[in-house]
Structure 1
Amino acid sequence: MLEPGAAHPVLTIDEARQFEAALFGGDETREWPAMQRAGRAIADAVLRDYRELGAFPENARVLVLAGKGHNGGDALIAARHILEKHPRAKAAVCFVFGEQSLRPLAWRAHRELAQAAPERVAVFDAAAVQKDGAGFDLCLDGIFGFQFRPSVDERVAQLIDSVNALPVCLRAAVDMPSGSFRADFTYATGIVKTPVLENPNSGRVRYLDLGFFSGSPCRDTATLTPAALAPLRALRSSHTDKRDYGHLFIVGGSRKYPGAVLMSVQAALRSGAGLVTAFVPESLAPVFAAQVPEAIWHGMAESPGGGLALEDLPVFRERVSEKTSGTANATALVIGPGLSRDRESFALVTEILRINENIPVVLDADALQSDIIASGKAPRILTPHAGEYQRVEAAIPDGAVVVRKGPLTLIEHSGRKYISPFGGPVLARGGSGDLLAGMIGGLLAQAPGALLHAACRGTVWHGMAADCLARAHGQHAVRTTQLLDFLPEVLRGVSQ
């Protein structure tokens, strides 16, 4: 089980309805403060995420699609906060069902927006929105909430289709996309509901914690929060040395894919591990040692294909258990980055797993083969992307922690699922998975009995650093290893 607050439950629509009924009891004096928190959180998150495009334009045009109820109110409050922060920005508000249809709290939000910036707020009808040729810098979709049931009436569907066709820099949905609205981001306010994770129009899902939950989730599916990193933010004891923070062994690399293992080693070192030893083909070791001298580089005999040769298994066996001055025996293993599909390398790692009974291991990349996964009894974390998972699913042993990488990375263990809503398209480049494997391995080396914690913390840290990278430099003109430079900022809250 994760620490309290590290994950919050994902609820079905009916569960969310019952939860909110119990929380607010239909009392608008209790709902209004929550709506204010939601709107402010949406505004802050939108402006933060907009940084992936660049600075929010000072003369921005914001389109607000407001429905009758709380989602419309959330969007209107978010627009007010955005206009307050950007005094030259303007908002075009479309009341999809007419102003007279607004429920009391949505009407209150509308009134406050109009009073806050009367000269910068205009009411557009659907026809004016559809004819707008200039486009918008931001669109806030607050038409329907999670109470909505399909189907969308034809007039509203036409409006949404027209908005989808407009030039809009960033499209943000409040809680859930309305009908066919194609969101770049969906901001789940207070509760993540199951349908938003299944909707292909949701774009990137952001969970905005409004303080509804405390303690550990009781549901089988939960969303991870930044609180998962709390133990890494604490001061370390002043009476420690490198041996107190684990010794990670990384096995990988080949002449065909030399860079992957180097990236995993760099990430492991930045994860806080006390010692990192890398077992790589002997032709690579001197070059890598010159680039990353903090690691211990052990050159191993090479197979004819340029991978790791089976003949050095006795050397690895000796090193994995030895304890000499300056080094400690291995506390965790990472196997696979850059390994290639060399048959002799496969035989070596299969034997390593067979003889390893106790040291936890992270299996990544080319080590994600069914026969390798099934070898040995040591506790293990697997890090497959969608294609790899489909290939090896049947071979995954009971008790393994599985990090299923994707737009929403899913960590599975003992029937529970933890969703990481962090990261984005900036991770869609070679080497992202190698960094993740190294980070998880480094965290595992520091706490060898906490496989789930290492997987969740590593995934959250990796994803949040990717978000910071994209906000600082955009999604396109970056290198994968630049992510490592944002790991300290995540822990220290500099770029949040």
Structure 2
Amino acid sequence: MIAGTHPILTCAAARELEAKLFGADEVKEWAAMQQAGAAIAEAVLRDFAEIGGFPPDGRILVLAGKGHNGGDALIASRQIIERFPSATVEVEFAFGQRALRPLAARAWRELLQTAPERVRGSAAALGRSAELPPSFAAADYDLCLDGVFGFQFRPPCDPRTAALLEQVNALPIPLRAAVDLPSAGIFRADFTYATGSVKAPIVDDLNAGRIRYLDLGFFSPVAGVVDPGPAILRVLTPAMLAPLAALRPARCDKRSYGHLFVLGGSRSYPGAVMMAVEAALRSGAGLVTAFVPETLAAAFAARLPEAIWVGWPETPDGSLALEGLHLLRERLSRADALVVGPGIGREAETLALVGEIVRLGDKPVLLDADALQPDIVRAAKSPLVVTPHAGEFARIAPNASLEDFVRTSRATVVLKGPVTRIGTTDGDAAVIYHSFAGGPVLARGGSGDLLAGMIGAQLAQSPTDPALAAARGVLWHGLAADRLARARGQVAVHTTQLLDHLGAMLRGL
């Protein structure tokens, strides 16, 4: 099990966890609610930066249910309007104000006391009408916080509440946020903020949008709750990157941080291998040797002189030729890990070369892009890390689940997507780690090449722990992408600008 990860819980396990933590003690529950509300407010404002920031006179719509999720949303809205003196809040009580449980009612009172002139609660409960008030439907909201139902919701949803959620879905609100889970599986969120623990239903909920895990310390030793240990599903947290942010030893040199070999590039795809090499250099590798088609080597060396560039014989179409294998063999003892695939193309001779490389020995190999072929993966004798997107995974593991594939292949799999999953084995059991960092800013060519280089740099430093290398590379890549999107938006950026945020992300820890 990788340190700095937490279990993803079933709803039943989450109820059991909170019972252990709070024991129905309202003092403890209120403290946790305050903490959750503050964390949601902070996260919402941070994520709003991707679309220009929360407006100074922003209008917030809160959908409040009866219990803790409604209370969390009310506290978050209070935290936001305390920071923005011209912002306003409108609260729609899904079941009426009288239905509020004590702590949610307390959160509502505190919101009113904070700025009574800027807070309005709906007078109508949906028990009397399924129609929204005209002012509600016509309002120009900037943010919606969904706190109607939590993880204790039991379907079906009553028709009036379903109508409320559907009508809110139809409003042109720039950012919609759900607390813990999108209510009733109906509310469509841009972000879902999992407070305290991640509940398993949101991982595959298409209405959840982007998931943010807000760690409230439930699994810290101080909380007194023991992490249940190895679980099939776990979530990565920034704590696992702390060793990268620490001071390096005074008596270190370039060999202390691994020697990574990168093989890739072709006449058709010259930029991919350049991006992978640059990412490896920018993410801490001590030495990087890059094997590229010989016609590219001189130009690449001028661009990134920090790497060692080795020109490789080419096929007639400009890819790596099989005859160059001796160049790798005579240097392989110097390597700690290899990355093979960025920009390599699909020529039969080049793929035959990759097949020979993965049979060479015990150096861990990361396969990316067109190097991800089923016969190559099956033939490998080297410890493997593979980094497919969904289409590539279907090619190397047809009709197999991630869990089944990692058990049978013994490879570490980085399955890239809106939620990136790292599959590995812990003995005979599969463990699937989830990274919720990143987002649409990564939906552009080259982001996978950067990730391959970053994981490779980590793999060269921890060649005996490929799962740790993969997890650190994935999370660091995603968190840097989040910083890029907040700084420059999701659209008008270059892929490689992500690298400019790697250092700031670590220092921010």
Query: TM-score, normalized by length of structure 2?
Result: 0.93
What pairs with 1:427-442 in structure 2 (closer than 5 Å)?
Answer: 427-442=442-457
Q: What SS class does the counterpart of residue 223 from structure 1 fall into? A: strand
- Say whether residues 1:471 and 2:486 are aligned partners: yes
Relative to structure 1, is the Cα distance of residues 352 and 129 closer, same or farther in structure 2, using a 3 angstrom cutoff?
farther
Could you say what secondary structure the match of 1:132 adopts? helix
Question: Within the alignment, does 1:410 sit opposite 2:425 as a pair?
Answer: no
CA distance in 1, matches of 2:470, 2:358: 20
What pairs with 1:290-305 in structure 2 (closer than 5 Å)? Answer: 290-305=302-317
1:343 is aligned to 2:348 = yes
In structure 2, what residue type is equivalent to 1:410? R
Alignment partner of 1:160: what SS? helix
Q: Which residue number in structure 1 is paired with residue 402 of structure 2?
A: none
Alignment CA distance shift 1:225-1:245 (3 Å) = same
Distance in 2 separating the partners of 1:120 and 1:342: 65
Aligned pairs (5 A) from 1:31-430? 31-124=29-122, 125=124, 127-128=132-133, 131-179=136-184, 180-214=186-220, 217-321=229-333, 329-355=334-360, 357-393=361-397, 398-414=409-425, 415-430=430-445
- Report the Cα distance in structure 2 between the residues aligned to 1:13 and 1:198, rounded to whole angstroms: 14
Counterparts of 2:96 and 2:170, CA distance in 1: 22
What is the CA–CA distance in structure 1 between the aligned matches of 2:132 and 2:331, rounded to whole Å?
A: 73
Output the CA distance in 2 between the equivalents of 1:349 and 1:447.
23
Q: How many residues align?
A: 484
Preserved CA contact (<8 Å) 1:173 1:186: yes
Give the letter aligned to residue 50 of structure 2.
E
Distance in 1 between residues matched to 2:230 and 2:169, nearest whole Å = 38
Q: Report SS of the residue matched to 1:381.
A: strand
Corresponding position of 1:324: none
Over the aligned positions, Cα root-mean-square deviation in angstroms equals 1.3
SS in 2 for 1:417: strand
* 8 Å CA contact 2:446, 2:495 repeated in 1: yes
Matched, 1:481 2:479: no
Q: CA deviation at 1:263?
A: 0.3
Measured against aligned partners, the alpha-carbon deviations of 1:335-392 in whole angstroms (never above 9, x if no partner) come to 000001011111111111112x111111110110011112231111110001111111
Give the residue type in structure 2 aligned to 1:2: I
Distance 1:34 1:134 in 2: 32
Structure 1 position 240, deviation (Å):
1.1
1-structure distance, mates of 2:331, 2:89: 65
Residue 450 of structure 1 corresponds to: 465
* Structure 1 range deviating more: 463-472 or 306-315: 306-315
* CA–CA separation in structure 2 for the residues paired with 1:163 and 1:130: 13
* TM-score, structure 1 normalization: 0.96
Structure 2: stretches of 5+ with no match in the other structure: 125-130, 222-226, 399-404
Deviation, 1:133, is 2.1
Q: Could you say which residue in structure 1 is the equivalent of 2:128?
A: none
Q: Secondary structure at the match of 2:342?
A: coil
1:129–1:163 Cα contact (<8 Å) kept? no
Give the secondary-structure state (helix, strand or coil) at the position aligned to 1:51: helix
Moved more, 483-492 or 206-215: 206-215
Residue 129 of structure 1: how far off its partner (Å): 6.5
User: Could you tell me which amino acid in structure 1 is paired with residue 12 of structure 2?
Assistant: D
Assess if the C-alpha contact under 8 Å between 2:378 and 2:409 holds in 1: no
Shift of residue 253, structure 1, vs aligned partner: 0.4
Counterpart of 1:325 in structure 2 is none
> Larger deviation: 265-274 or 211-220?
211-220
Contact 1:10–1:192 (Cα < 8 Å) also in 2: yes
The whole-number CA distance in structure 2 between the counterparts of 1:11 and 1:445 is: 33
Asked if structure 2 preserves the Cα contact closer than 8 Å seen for 1:252 and 1:280, the reply is yes
Q: Could you list the per-position Cα deviations for residues 198-222 of structure 1 after superposition, in whole angstroms to 9, with x for gaps in the alignment?
A: 2110000100001100376432211
Q: CA deviation at 1:131?
A: 4.8
Alpha-carbon distance in 2 for matches of 1:66, 1:250? 53
Separation in 2, partners of 1:135, 1:242 = 56
| Cα deviations by residue, 1:294-351 (Å, 9 ceiling, x for unpaired) | 1111110100121000111112111222xxxxxxx00000000000101111111111
Offset at 1:18?
Answer: 1.4
One-letter amino acid matched to 1:369: Q
**1: distance between equivalents of 2:480 and 2:163?**
39
Of 481, 485, 490, 2:505 maps to 490
